[in-house]
Amino acid sequence: MKIIQATKEHLVDLASLFDAYRVFYEQESDKKSAKQFLDNRISKNEAVIFIAYIDHVSVGFTQLYPSFSSVSMKRSYILNDLYVNNNYRKKGVGSALLNKAKELCIEKNYKGLGLQTGIENPAQFLYERLGWVKEPYLDYFWVNE
């Protein structure tokens, strides 16, 4: 398995995975818009995206958005997206992507990584096994309708 930071050269592979990720979350498939969205994140340095390859096949990705912790006065990342192709699950791809994100935080001396997931998401066991801790906070979100 090879994990690299995605660049514009990886957009076709990445857009396909990103589109599948969005479909998983019950969104309409739209590869053209997915590619444009990712191109904007990469071009504007608004995200760090790692993509996993096995035998030259793109099999998963994670997308990190930069943030800050006011309390610790340190930078952090929000691990917003993590997706592994169904055919490659339970093969260590998710763990490898999460560990790559952790390595980036260590390298940059960032506070850490935050993530949110659904209450029923079975990936919680993976997160906890890799050192994520459930925070004792409630999440609120305002939607601009």
Neighbours of 90 (CB within 10 A): 7
Rounded Cα distance, 107 and 53, in Å? 22
54: Cα separation from own chain's centroid: 18
Residues 6+ apart with CB under 8 A from 35: 11, 12, 14, 15
Position of tokens 């993530």? 115
Domain residue spans in the chain? Answer: 2-129
- What global pTM score does this model have? 0.91
The answer to whether the CB of 103 falls within 8 A of the CB of 62 is no
pLDDT at position 140, please?
82
Query: Average pLDDT for residues 14-39, to the nearest whole number?
Result: 96
Query: Average pLDDT for residues 69-87, to the nearest whole number?
Result: 94
Confidence band, pLDDT 50/70/90 cuts, at residue 135: confident
**Candidates 3.40.50.300, 3.40.630.30, 3.30.360.10, 3.30.470.10; correct CATH number of 2-129?**
3.40.630.30
Q: Decide if pLDDT at 131 tops 80.
A: yes
User: pLDDT, tens digit, for every residue of 90-124?
Assistant: 999 999 999 999 999 999 999 999 998 888 887 88
pLDDT at position 95, please?
96
H or E element at residue 127:
helix 124-129
Sign of CA dihedral 65, 68, 74, 80: negative
